[in-house]
Amino acid sequence: MLFNSFPFLFLVIVTLVLYYNKFLRKYQIYILIISSFVFYTYGQPILSLLLLSSASINAVASYFVYFENNKRRKKQYAFLGVAFNLAVLSFFKYSPLFGRALEHFRSLDGIGDFLVSIPLPVGISFYTFQGISLVVDLYRSNHQSECPLFKVDRNFIRHYIHTIFFISFFPQLVAGPIVKAYEFYPQIKTKYLEEINFESAFKILIIGYFLKMVIADNLKDQTFWMMFPYFQVHSSYTLMTMLFGYSIQIFTDFAGYSLIAIGVAKLYGYDLPKNFNFPYISKSFSEFWTRWHITLSTWLKEYLYIPLGGNRRGRVRTYINLFIVMLLGGLWHGAAWSYMFWGAYHGILLAGERFILQRYGIPNNRYLDIVRILMVFILVTLGWLLFKLPEFPQVILYCNAMIHNFNYPVNQTIITYVALYTFPVALYYVNYLLRTRTGKNYLDTSIVYAIMLLNIFINSGSSGEFIYFQF
């Protein structure tokens, strides 16, 4: 069920009416759980059993991890919980990749065909990561201490219901933001209509839908021509423009989704973490990853980079850890070699940047900062080719066409539309920069929100799935 569809709007409204009905107040969690499974089963009914099974196993594992006093058994329960989540993710997400690799071995054709046929459940990358965070956070905490990360209800049934709710909460179920258990569980309580800041929620929703439906969905009609073999007949200028447009498209598509998820969650009294913070003004690649898909970046840092040793075991080990984390982060995005190359690409950029900064340093200079921002944006944008084009040889062909097609005719229509629909994003960023200096939000006016809302109704592009739904 897409966020930009009438069934989703109908589900949100019906759920709100039931949720804040004073006669049903004590059933609020159950109402949201039912709505979440309605949302999830709308497209893949049978795979809802996987979601329920995953949440159930995580509920059992986390309960035993938290209340087990024996350290050895506690560790065993935590290991089994994490292993289960990783096994589910690996089987459903990466089996097709292994299946395609087995095509070279004729004696294993049957196995390869089976692995390739395994469906990819929507949102599995997100809810398995949330399950891991639940188990690991409780393993790290001590329920006997005075200040645990969060408390687990001694009554298993209540803990089970809370865990099902945490894993399945529909605004963030299929594409995040990735919510950590210690961020969500303390919020589980009765919500009252008068406590909700509906103005803030609606403003977030308008910005989110504008970014997705007006910017991203219109840009996708122009960036469609980046696909093989269409890009081969376009000029270098058109190819560069389309790549720039795709960079803006993937930002507005995912940032728009995250804002919609945050806004819808606010309607029910739950705060989800910020997922984007104007990443395209980053002066370094490390800063970019504190601004882009923030919940994934922090998850990888807390549950992978730091356990690997972080930057505590010398420079060489730090470079290796950065590379490993980004390589696995790339594979998290999809079961294709192009995603692995994308992760390796960012790992090299992060490690190389860290080496240069430690060895030479960079002076604090305003004009140099502008150059750094442009360099980071250009290299990040080049990396998005690995997202857009499914086969690595096609990425090479696209780059080759950008270098050699300067004599081809320029497609004025594509360039005009990309410029038109990236202009509001430029204003969005300029307003942020001005706000950081003056403290005033120049776009936070009724007229601006009215213009965005009008464009959502009359100038939306053709409806398309969110790019990150595939992950």
Q: Is the pLDDT of residue 111 over 90?
A: no
Final residue belonging to a domain, choices 150, 178, 194: 194
Q: Specify the pLDDT at position 462.
A: 82
* 131 shares a domain with 43: yes
Confidence of residue 338 (pLDDT cuts 50, 70, 90): confident
d(CA 209, CA 470): 19
- In a domain, residue 447? The reply is yes
Whether 399 is in a domain gets the answer no
Is 214 inside any structural domain? yes
pLDDT of 108 > 60? The answer is no
Residue 187 and residue 201 in one domain: no
Is 162 noted as a catalytic residue in this protein?
A: no
**Would you say residue 425 has pLDDT above 80?**
yes
Per-residue pLDDT band at 36 (split at 50, 70, 90): very high
- Band of residue 61 on the pLDDT scale cut at 50, 70, 90: very high
* pLDDT average, residue stretch 391-409: 93
Query: Of 177, 194, 211, which one is at a domain's C-terminal end?
Result: 194
439 and 296 within one domain = no
Question: What is residue 110's predicted lDDT score, i.e. its pLDDT?
Answer: 63
Q: Which of these three, 172, 194, 216, is where a domain ends?
A: 194
Q: Is the pLDDT of residue 455 over 60?
A: yes
The answer, yes or no, to whether residue 144 has pLDDT greater than 50, is no
178 contacts 137 by C-beta, under 8 angstroms:
no
Given a cut of 80, whether residue 335 has pLDDT beyond it is no
> At 113, is the pLDDT very low, low, confident or very high (cuts 50, 70, 90)?
low
Task: Indicate if the pLDDT at residue 468 is higher than 50.
Answer: yes
pLDDT at 278: 95
Q: Please indicate, yes or no, whether residues 218 and 229 belong to a single structural domain of this protein.
A: yes
Looking at the fold, whether 418 and 324 belong to one and the same domain comes out as no
Residues 385 and 349 in one domain: yes
pLDDT tens track for 363-383? 788 889 999 999 999 999 999
Q: Does residue 397 lie within any of the structural domains?
A: no
Model confidence over 286-316: pLDDT tens digits?
A: 999 999 999 999 999 999 998 888 878 888 8
Residue 169 pLDDT: 94
Where do the H-state alpha helices sit in 102-225? Answer: 109-117, 124-140, 156-168, 181-184, 198-209, 217-223
Q: Which of 159, 234, 333, 346 is catalytic?
A: 333
When pLDDT is cut at 50, 70 and 90, the band that residue 404 belongs to is: very high
Q: Are residues 173 and 61 in the same domain?
A: yes
- State how many domains the chain has: 3
pLDDT at 358 over 70: yes
- Predicted confidence at residue 256, as pLDDT, reads 94
pLDDT of residue 215: 96
Are 421 and 379 contained in the same domain?
Answer: no
Regarding whether 179 and 236 lie in a shared domain, the answer is no
Does 105 score more than 90 pLDDT?
A: no
With CA atoms as reference, report the closest residue to 408 among 238, 228, 161: 238
Q: Which domain holds residue 226?
A: 196-276+410-471
Per the CB < 8 A criterion, the answer to whether 134 and 166 are in contact is yes
Residue 178 lies in a domain: yes
Candidates 249, 259, 277, 221; CA nearest to 387 is 249
Calculate the average pLDDT of the chain. 89
Q: Mean pLDDT over residues 83-89, rounded?
A: 92
Residue 191 has pLDDT above 70, yes or no: yes
For residues 16 and 270, give the distance between their C-alpha atoms in angstroms, rounded to a whole number.
13
Q: Which residues of 234-264 are buried (b: 16+ CB within 10 A; e: fewer)?
A: bbbbbbebbbbbbbbbbbbbbbbbbbbbbbb
pLDDT at 356 over 70: yes
| pLDDT on residue 296 | 93
Has this prediction a pTM greater than 0.75?
Answer: yes
Q: Are residues 297 and 334 in the same domain?
A: yes
Structural domain contains residue 404: no
- What's the whole-number mean pLDDT along residues 91-118? 65
Do 62 and 117 fall within a single domain? yes
Residue 158 within a domain: yes
Confidence of residue 348 (pLDDT cuts 50, 70, 90): very high
42 and 183 part of one domain: yes
Q: 398 lies in a domain?
A: no
